[in-house]
Amino acid sequence: MIAMDLQALLEDTAFVVVGPAISVADATMLLATEQVDLALVDFMLADGEACPLIEQLKAKSIPFALCTGTDCHKLRGAYPHTPILGKPYKVEDVLKVMSDLLPRSGRHEDRLPC
C-alpha cells in the first residue's frame, strides 16, 4: 500500500490526513504547524530512520504506530509498546491499529501524518 492509497483509505474512514510526510524533516514541520492526534509512521523515511520523529511524538504524547518493510522483531524490541505493521499490510490491519490508537474522547475526525 503506497502513501496515496493509504491516505485515501484513511480519509474514506473519516480521518483527516495531514501529509504525507516523506522525511523526518517534513514530519517535524507538520508537527510544528498542524494539530496531530495520532500518527502512522514509516520507519524508513527519505532522510533516514524515523527515530527522531518517534522521540518527538513521544514528547508530545501523540499515539503512533510504525510501518516497516524490514525486520519487525528488531522494531518490537526497540519499541515494545508500539503497534507495528509489517509491509505489505492489509487494509483491515491498518484500520484496526488506527482505531486502537484513537483517543478515548470518541472523536473520529483525528488528524494524522501519513
Q: What is the pLDDT of residues 30-70, one digit of tens each?
A: 999 999 999 999 999 999 999 999 999 999 999 999 998 88
Q: Say how far apart CA 30 and CA 49 lie, in whole Å.
A: 17
Q: Quick check: is 47 in a domain?
A: yes
- Dihedrals phi, psi of 73, to nearest 5 degrees: -65, -40
Q: Say how far apart CA 3 and CA 30 lie, in whole Å.
A: 16
Domain containing residue 44: CATH number: 3.40.50.2300
| CA-based end-to-end distance of the chain | 12
- Structural domain count, the chain: 1
Q: Quick check: is 86 in a domain?
A: yes
Q: Quick check: is 113 in a domain?
A: no
Which residues contact residue 86 at a Cβ distance below 8 angstroms, ignoring those fewer than 6 apart? Answer: 67, 68, 69, 72
Residue keyed to cell 473519516: 14
Q: Which three cell numbers stand for residue 102?
A: 484513537
User: Which residues span the domain enclosing 85?
Assistant: 3-100
Q: Could you tell me the pTM of the whole model? A: 0.83
**pLDDT at position 113, please?**
44
Q: Quick check: is 114 in a domain?
A: no
Residue keyed to cell 495520532: 38
